Structures are given as structure tokens and as C-alpha cells.
Amino acid sequence: MRLSELPGEAIHDTSLNAYIFPERKLGVSAKRFIGLAKKHKVVLRHAGNTLMMDVAAFDELQAKINADRTFIYFIQMGADGPIKIGNALRPDWRLTELQCGNPYPLKIIHQFEDHVWRERELHIRFADHRLEGEWFEAAPVLEWLREKMGTADG
């Protein structure tokens, strides 16, 4: 989940000036988002079978989450496949999300705590090796990891 986006299940109700999460339709990203709200003590209201978060509370949560340091992760597809470079508060959760839609085994080969901007810097560094989106050819990424981090095995 990108921190600047709401989970897809959320509905923005302008008349209530709130985001609404239908409880019976909560997906993984919405459940994680609600968990973050509780962690940061941002109030969620119950209304029937829905959870509601004021837009101001959402903005407050965004600020708190974005102030947190995140992890830059390197997830490889298969034994020698491409590598995804991304950021997440919980790379293990992100791995689970990615694995759900991928027929090949994925594994986290390395991660380190850093600020979100570092991900963009790495995407620029490996731009010539980009396959699609945040997926890159493995060889240059593994070489960089070995040089800079001392390992490519996490």
C-alpha cells in the first residue's frame, strides 16, 4: 500500500467528510490501514457495519505514517529472476501481497531501514535495467547489494 493512497475498499463520503470502510469487504490493505490507525491512536468510528475515519483524522494518520522510517526491500522472483525494489513499513506483509498474484515463488533477499526517498534513488540508479514498474534485472542489483551491503541474502 502506498502511504498516500487509501485502500481500494474505502469510500469517500463528502457529505460526512469521512472515509468509510465497509467491514464485510475489508481487504488486506484496508485491514493493515486500520491497524496503523489503531497503532497511531487515530480514531475510527463504527456506524452500523462500517468503520469511518474523518478526513482530518486520515490526514493526521498520513502525517504520522510518513514521518516513520520505512524499509527498503529487494524481493526476487524465483532463484534467478527479476528483483523488485520497493518500500514498506512491513516488507513481510508486502511479500505476502505480491505472492498472492504471482505464480512464481518470491523471497526477500535483502531489506534495510531507510527513508522512502531512498527507493526513488535506487530506481534512478537501476533505470537502464528496469523491466516493468519497480522490477529490475537481477544481475546489476545483486552486484550493487554485494558491494554496498556485503550480501545479497538478507
Read out DSSP for 128-148? GGEEETTEE-HHHHHHHHHHH
Give 117's contacts (C-beta < 8 A, 6+ positions apart). none
Distance CA 75, CA 95 (A): 7
- The per-residue pLDDT for 116 is 62
pLDDT tens digits along 66-121:
666 688 999 999 999 999 999 888 899 999 999 998 999 999 999 988 766 688 88
List the chain domain ranges: 11-67, 70-149
- The per-residue pLDDT for 51 is 76
Bridge-partner residues for 12, per DSSP?
Answer: 19
Q: Select the more confidently predicted residue: 51 or 144.
A: 144
Count of Cβ atoms closer than 10 Å to residue 122 Cβ:
19
- The per-residue pLDDT for 105 is 96
Sign of CA dihedral 89, 153, 75, 86: positive
- The per-residue pLDDT for 154 is 46
Distance CA 106, CA 136 (A): 14
Sign of CA dihedral 101, 104, 106, 109: negative
Mean pLDDT of the chain: 81
- pLDDT range class, residue 23, cuts 50, 70, 90: low
Task: Give the residue-averaged pLDDT of 21-48.
Answer: 72
Distance CA 29, CA 10 (A): 10
